[in-house]
Amino acid sequence: MRLKRLLLMSVLMTVMPFTGLAQQQILNTQYVFNRLLINPAYAGIGGGLQASFLYRKQWSGIDGAPNTQVLSMHSPINREKTASLGGMVIRDEIGVTTQTGVYITGAYALKMSDKTFLSFGLQGGFLNDQSNFGELEGFADDPLFVADNRSVFRPNFGAGVYLYDDRYHIGISVPNLFEQNFQQIAFQEGADIYPFVYLDAGYLFYLKTGWTLDVNTLIRSEPELPLQFDINGIIGIRNLVWLGLSYRSFESVDALFRLKLSENYYFAYSYDISTGPATLSRVNAGSHELMIQFGLNRLTRPRGMKRFKGW
């Protein structure tokens, strides 16, 4: 029994530095299909009601490894499709700690030229951080732990800007504008939320009739951590199937798949192969991510654009 407890603590201590004990927003692989996950200025893209549900199981094979669920929705709210509203519910769980974020998102787009638009977005809501240390077998009587649930609420706000046309996009966002503390036990590392910045850019190439290549990069800057970046390329085939590869620095190589199920429904799956610390790579079977998307229509947003890279 003592060996089991030591193993559990070893895994938690290994995982904490890389997940922030779920305090920092986990970067999902399939943000490339729904950028509302990283930038509130994306609200309204697609021209009609868009909704998605995402499930991520990180580091399969490790007890207590992170898993994430995200429900998001957004839509234009005026005839010109320049003003949009949306919302997200994000749930991250690692070990005995669960963090839930609930956000309302708003965006407004300015027409810069016939095909180019600049969108400004804001989001506001709250984070709830809950830990139940009593679930750690054998630690209920340890003075460092509290056997009962502990729950902390904090407000949270974010902002973003998104410049786009039917071929390219450039976005910058700060999902957490203010530093916050959720530390619940003396040695709990990474329990603070720090402001971090996403810089997102991409370009869509038309290869031949019905075929496209979408090339993207995402840079994440966070205090006291190395600069993290993603590079990915996604082949689209007749607007029905998408196949892609992505590399995330210090973390993983990812394979992506997306399928159009019907006029309004899409299914996406991705598999991440860990390239992080050797000790972590040897004890997990990669990360899985599933997403179901619904799009009411594929009208452009705002009016004047013939097509948009995404929906």
What distance in Å separates the CA atoms of residue 18 and residue 116, rounded to the nearest whole number? 38
Q: Superfamily assignment of 2-295 in CATH?
A: monomeric porin ompg (2.40.160.40)
Q: Is the pLDDT of residue 187 over 90?
A: no
Residue 209: pLDDT band (50, 70, 90) is confident
Where are the domains positioned within the chain? 2-295
> Any long-range contacts for 181-188 (C-beta under 8 Å, 24+ apart)?
182/23, 182/99, 182/127, 182/129, 182/152, 182/154, 184/129, 184/131, 184/146, 184/150, 184/152, 185/131, 185/133, 185/144, 185/145, 185/146, 186/144, 187/144, 188/16, 188/21
Query: Under 8 Å CB-to-CB from 209, ≥6 apart: which residues?
Result: none
Looking at residue 225, what DSSP letter applies?
S
pLDDT digits (tens, 9 = 90+) for 63-73: 777 899 999 99
What distance in Å separates the CA atoms of residue 117 and residue 166, rounded to the nearest whole number? 10
pLDDT digits (tens, 9 = 90+) for 285-301: 688 999 999 997 654 44
